[in-house]
Structure 1
Amino acid sequence: MVDIATRVWNHKWKIDPIVRSLIDTDFYKLLMCQSVFRNKRDTQVTFSLINRSQHVPLAKLIDEGELREQLDHIRSLALRRNESTWLRGNTFYGKRQMFRSDFMEWFEGLRLPPYHLERVGDQYELTFEGAWPEVMLWEIPALAVLMELRGRAVLNDMGRFELQVLYARAMTKLWEKIERLREVPDLRIADFGTRRRHSFLWQDWCVQAMFEGLGDSFVGTSNCLIAKNRDLEAIGTNAHELPMVYAALAKDDAALKQAPYDVLADWHEEHDGNLRMILPDTYGTDGFLKDAPDWLAGWTGIRIDSGDPATGAETAIRWWKDRGEDPTQKLVIFSDGLDETKILELHAQFAGRVRVSFGWGTLLTNDFRGLTPDDRLAPFSLVCKAIEADGRPTVKLSDNPNKAMGPADQIDRYKRVFGVGEQAAQQVLV
């Protein structure tokens, strides 16, 4: 097992670049990328870093030169032969050759496009512009770099023994969570923690701990590199990015209203009926389900990623019943701001009513709360989102208005088109 504290103590070793592979990313990114490559490859997009936690002054904590060095390293990465072999030949979700030859040939020749970095006050403005299939692959590594450099800045003043104690406490903290979860019958849980992890080495350690502690209840990881290296299932389907860009490209209100369903029609065709998970909250879950075509009710399940998770699950159960479907055969994946207490609560509430699964993110791979003075390693909300597509602004409404993004006039328009009324605001932790 890696001595993480010693590696952190020597973190400037070239053996430890923050992002060490093009597949050190989430599986759903590659699945979406293939769909975009097929359907919207010429669409021009802009992605931007958004720090929702302005109390964390990233530009004061992180040296700009070091940040550029890490970003430049990512631009030097290319797909390795064994990584290409894994993607081309492995079985994902029971399907061989998930990734088509034309996509793989493109991916094997890819280098990520340039970035724009500028300091604005105590924050960094970091943007990426270009063809959608290329630019979208910046999101996860960019977030991983910022999160880890922030952590390194906090750890930089600690001595070697202080670091040993810190990581011992963090390991104990996670293991105590695992001990609570291992008592749950029929638990299904995956690691979704790449984008806001403490570090690559720490995420890898957390995945190994979950595998040993939970056995078959641990169903895999969203991180492709760790899945390959540890011979685990790669987990993921799609994300808000697809409907956000499709909606931005819509020519009028009618096309805008249809855009989220166009996404899933393309997705269905892309994957021959596999990976049929609905992410309904981009423009409000209630309106999405109310107007959804009947064929979507036959899909495998729903991922709940904003708003009150119990309310979202109850809404899905009612919708399935209204459409003549049996909710006990449907899968509900909870993936927003989870920790073990919320996982236990939701499992107790919905087990037996639906098939329950959990995508555990930041509070799995970056929970150092209470372990440093002034809680300087506490997780915070950092995202990298598509903000523009072919010159048009993107919008996200969410089931939590605190997660909404986009120009105010466009947010109002989208609320009108999608029939979004009053929403209950909830604190955004991560």
Structure 2
Amino acid sequence: MIVTSLLDTDLYKFSMMQVVLHQYPAAQVEYKFKCRTPGIDLVSCIDEIREELDRLCSLRFAEDELDYLRGWRFIKSDFVDFLGLFQLNAKYVRIYPAAAGNGEIEIRIRGPWLHTILFEVPLLAIINEIYFRRHFPHLDLSEGRRRLAEKIALLRDAPEYRECRIADYGTRRRFSRAWQEEVVTTLQAGLGGQLAGTSNVYLARKLGLTPLGTLAHEYLQAHQALGPRLRDSQVAALEAWAKEYRGDLGIALSDVYGLDAFLRDFDMYFCKLFDGTRHDSGDPFVWGERMLAHYRVNRVDPRNKVLVFSDSLNIPKVMQLYAHFRGRCQLAFGVGTNLTNDVGPAPLNIVIKMVRCNGQPVAKLSDSPGKNMCEDPAYVAYLRRVFGLPPEPSDPPIVVPQGAT
């Protein structure tokens, strides 16, 4: 059994799920799986994925796990009570070979947001582990351990980086559950206070680390169908978050509509209200400079705000960013695949993204080409126009979706 606890997921799934329970319990959503790595045959893995899905859906939260969640100051007691009754249901998930017949698979998750939000992270972890177990069944992990030791030494042994802290963000694309635990345990022993924590709630609890995370792209995307006018959906999402957490979990995600649109919406009120912002696409140095300038324009001292970097990081890149921005703001770094799936074979680039909410398309307008994922090109073109972004040459003629403003 690959996933043995419902805590074996990222913190932001629980923080978003609580908002869904309290503010959007009737929302209906659809997620879609995509393997961005070309030439990968996952069809042979389907039966085993289905078996692991059934095992995942047999899990319930144990009382000691619920007690752990109840101890977080930002988690409400009624949400923990709900989790005490919660169980994932495989009826919401369809897994089948892609029509193209090229080894790709289709995964569709359709159902109530409240009852499907916890599928993404464990399903991706399951797919990863099955794939690597089948294709590299006797892999010697000594190379992975050697690489990990080099990363730890690089960060730990440079005196000017002693205040530089990283966190593990690698659950979704880990080589295996056992390897992620070994990686985080090794980081804890080797880095000490330079390890800020982990996004994985199960490992945070087991190893006595701080669980880290706030919100993901799906949260802001869903507000395209949940908020008021489409143009106001980003503001509505941030307002709803502030209403729920009253100052806790104050890191805003900046790249759902591109940085230009984010900065237009992230006004002085939000600059002062949120603790910081997270980068997840585009040039991180350009992004950081623009965020610092934006804070200054809005009469906020950037030294009191956090810039969180989390896009395809490795340790050398962390160190470059730290050297560039240190002393000008507070810094945090979430490193994912490069920590938990750097053992020799090339890691898979797989994602599960929300593509519809309440029957209408939703999308992200990323600052990085290739990260957008929407099945309705006309909607993406319309979204660009609404948020004042230039059209792409491939955009079809704009047709305003029914009910959209």
CA distance in 1, matches of 2:76, 2:319: 39
Deviation at 1:261, TM superposition (A): 1.2
1:353 to 321, 328, 331: 328
Deviation at 1:65, TM superposition (A): 2.0
Q: Given that residues 47 and 136 in structure 1 are in contact (C-alpha distance below 8 angstroms), is that contact kept between their aligned partners in structure 2? A: no
**Does 2:244 match 1:270?**
yes
CA distance in 1, matches of 2:206, 2:337: 21
2:377 to 377, 397, 408: 408
Residues 79-118 of structure 1 aligned to structure 2 (within 5 Å): 79-89=61-71, 91=72, 96=73, 98-113=74-89, 114=91, 115-118=93-96
Q: Given that residues 71 and 142 in structure 1 are in contact (C-alpha distance below 8 angstroms), is that contact kept between their aligned partners in structure 2? A: yes
Residues 179-328 of structure 1 aligned to structure 2 (within 5 Å): 179-182=153-156, 183=158, 184-250=161-227, 255-298=229-272, 299-328=274-303
CA distance in 2, matches of 1:188, 1:420: 35
Q: Given that residues 277 and 300 in structure 1 are in contact (C-alpha distance below 8 angstroms), is that contact kept between their aligned partners in structure 2? A: yes
Residues 126-141 of structure 1 aligned to structure 2 (within 5 Å): 126-141=107-122
CA distance in 2, matches of 1:318, 1:384: 34
**Does 2:33 match 1:49?**
yes
Q: 1:386 to 1:205 in 2, by over 3 A?
A: same
SS at match of 2:39: coil
CA distance in 2, matches of 1:243, 1:105: 26
Deviation at 1:422, TM superposition (A): 7.7
Q: TM-score, normalised by structure 1?
A: 0.86
CA distance in 1, matches of 2:379, 2:286: 27
CA distance in 1, matches of 2:223, 2:172: 23
**Does 2:111 match 1:142?**
no
Q: Given that residues 52 and 382 in structure 1 are in contact (C-alpha distance below 8 angstroms), is that contact kept between their aligned partners in structure 2? A: yes
In structure 2, what is the equivalent of residue 335 of structure 1? 310
Q: Which amino acid aligns with 1:419?
A: G
In structure 2, what is the equivalent of residue 419 of structure 1? 388
Q: Which amino acid aligns with 2:56?
A: I
Q: Given that residues 286 and 315 in structure 1 are in contact (C-alpha distance below 8 angstroms), is that contact kept between their aligned partners in structure 2? A: no
Deviation at 1:250, TM superposition (A): 5.0
SS at match of 1:152: helix
In structure 1, what is the equivalent of residue 361 of structure 2? 393
CA distance in 2, matches of 1:123, 1:405: 16
Structure 1 residues 361-408: Cα deviation after superposition (integer angstroms, max 9, x where no partner): 11110012xx3xxxxx21121101111111101111111132112121
Q: Which amino acid aligns with 2:164?
A: L
1:39 to 13, 23, 28: 23
CA distance in 1, matches of 2:135, 2:5: 25
Q: TM-score, normalised by structure 2?
A: 0.92
Q: Which amino acid aligns with 2:86?
A: L
- The percentage of aligned residue pairs carrying the same residue is 36
Deviation at 1:111, TM superposition (A): 1.1
Deviation at 1:50, TM superposition (A): 1.3
RMSD after superposition = 1.4
The unaligned stretches of length 5 or more in structure 2 are 393-405
Q: Given that residues 384 and 391 in structure 2 are in contact (C-alpha distance below 8 angstroms), is that contact kept between their aligned partners in structure 1? A: no
SS at match of 1:37: helix
Q: Given that residues 167 and 199 in structure 2 are in contact (C-alpha distance below 8 angstroms), is that contact kept between their aligned partners in structure 1? A: yes
SS at match of 2:370: helix
Structure 1 residues 4-32: Cα deviation after superposition (integer angstroms, max 9, x where no partner): xxxxxxxxxxxxx1111111000011011
CA distance in 2, matches of 1:350, 1:185: 15
CA distance in 2, matches of 1:102, 1:329: 33
Q: Given that residues 284 and 418 in structure 1 are in contact (C-alpha distance below 8 angstroms), is that contact kept between their aligned partners in structure 2? A: no
Q: 1:422 to 1:411 in 2, by over 3 A?
A: closer
CA distance in 1, matches of 2:178, 2:234: 37
**Does 2:152 match 1:178?**
yes
In structure 2, what is the equivalent of residue 366 of structure 1? 341
In structure 2, what is the equivalent of residue 23 of structure 1? 7
CA distance in 2, matches of 1:346, 1:210: 20
Q: 1:198 to 1:171 in 2, by over 3 A?
A: same
CA distance in 1, matches of 2:265, 2:197: 33
Structure 1 residues 311-335: Cα deviation after superposition (integer angstroms, max 9, x where no partner): 1111101100110111111110100
Q: Which amino acid aligns with 2:70?
A: R
CA distance in 2, matches of 1:26, 1:360: 13
CA distance in 2, matches of 1:309, 1:172: 28
CA distance in 2, matches of 1:203, 1:276: 27
Q: 1:422 to 1:44 in 2, by over 3 A?
A: closer
SS at match of 1:401: coil
Paired residues, what number? 382
In structure 1, what is the equivalent of residue 402 of structure 2? none
CA distance in 2, matches of 1:154, 1:145: 14
Question: Which stretch of structure 1 is more off in the superposition, 27-36 or 106-115?
Answer: 106-115
Deviation at 1:419, TM superposition (A): 1.6
Structure 1 residues 212-237: Cα deviation after superposition (integer angstroms, max 9, x where no partner): 11111111110011111111111111
CA distance in 2, matches of 1:169, 1:356: 30
Q: Given that residues 128 and 173 in structure 2 are in contact (C-alpha distance below 8 angstroms), is that contact kept between their aligned partners in structure 1? A: yes
Q: Given that residues 302 and 331 in structure 1 are in contact (C-alpha distance below 8 angstroms), is that contact kept between their aligned partners in structure 2? A: yes
Q: Given that residues 57 and 87 in structure 2 are in contact (C-alpha distance below 8 angstroms), is that contact kept between their aligned partners in structure 1? A: yes
SS at match of 1:402: coil
